[in-house]
Amino acid sequence: MEHLNYQFSRSHEWVKEEDGLTWVGISDFAQNALGDVVFINLPEVGDEVTAGDPFGDVESVKAVSDLVSPVTGTVAEINEELLDSPELLNSAPYETWIIKVENVTDTEELLSAAAYDAFCETEE
């Protein structure tokens, strides 16, 4: 499975560590529940994010959902490609990061891939 080495929040964001940064995206379950993603609001580089608090939002045709940060830290990079092509979150959720965070000081309680899949079963 492509997401086996990822960790997950209960609000359906994924987290992975790479190049010394914390990458954040949304899970396959999340994109499926949202339906066609048509718009995303992103923070700016340098903004502080707090674990458990929204850092942006993502809108599908049907509704708007907050993006909840799994970590506390500083935004190092944002995925600007998503501003024009938010549908990448639907087509490749695990290859599409939303923000990369540095100076991480706190992390929510995260689930392993297997535990997250089990958690999703209960959500349906």
Partner 1 sequence: MSELKRTQLYDVHVAAGATMVDFGGWEMPVQYPEGIVSEHLYTRHACGIFDVSHMGRILVEGKDRFAFLQHVVTSNVGALELNRSQYCIIQAPDGSAVDDAYLYCFEEDNLWLVINAANIDKDLAYLTPLLAGYDCKLTNISAEWACIAVQGPKSKDILTELSGGEPLTIEPIKNRLNIVKLEGRTARIARTGYTGEPLGFEVFVKSEDVVWLWNRLVELGAKPAGLGARDTLRMEAGLPLYGHEMGVGPDGKNMPIFAVPLARFAVSFSPQKGDFVAKDILAKQRAAFVKIMNRDFSAIEDLPYRIMPITLLDRGVLRKDMEIYKGDKKIGWVTSGTMIPYYIAEGEGLESVITDAVAKRSIGMCYIASDTLVDDVVEVDVRGRRLKAVIPESHLSLEAPPFARPLIYGTELKKMEAPVGDGLAKALTLIAKAERNHLWRQTECINLIPSENTPSRAVQILSGSDPNFRYAEHRKTKAFYDKDIFYYQGTKFIDETEQLLVEEMKKYFGCSEVETRVTSGQMANTAVFSSLMDFKNRLDRKNDPKRLGYVMNNHIIRGGHLSAQPMGALHDFIAIDPKTEQNAVVNFPVLKDNIYKIDVEETKKLIDQYRPEFIIFGKSMVLHREPVAAIRQFVDEQKIPTTIMYDMAHVLGIIGPSFQDPFAEGAEIVTGSTHKSFFGPQRGVIAVNYKEDELKYELWKTIERRVFPGSVSNHHLGTQLGMLMAAYEMNTFRKEYQAAVVNGAKCLAKALADEGLAVEGDPAIGYTETHQVVVSVGYGQGSEVAERLEQNNIIVNYQATPDEEGFTASGALRMGVSEMVRFGFGEAEFKKTAALIAACIRGENVKEDVKKFRSEYQTMRYCFDDKTVENALDHLAGIMRR
Which residues lie near partner 1 (CB under 8 A)? 35-36, 38-39, 41, 57, 59-62, 64, 83, 87, 90
The pair phi, psi for residue 37, each rounded to 5°, is -80, 130
Residue 99 C-beta: closest distance to partner 1, Å = 18
Cβ neighbours of 39 (radius 10 Å): 13
From residue 78, how far is each of 45, 52, 103, 107, 123 by CA, in Å?
7, 19, 15, 19, 29
Choose between 35 and 105: whose C-beta lies nearer to partner 1: 35
Residue 23 C-beta: closest distance to partner 1, Å = 24
Choose between 18 and 36: whose C-beta lies nearer to partner 1: 36
Terminal-residue alpha carbon distance, the chain: 21
Choose between 64 and 114: whose C-beta lies nearer to partner 1: 64
Residue 49 C-beta: closest distance to partner 1, Å = 18
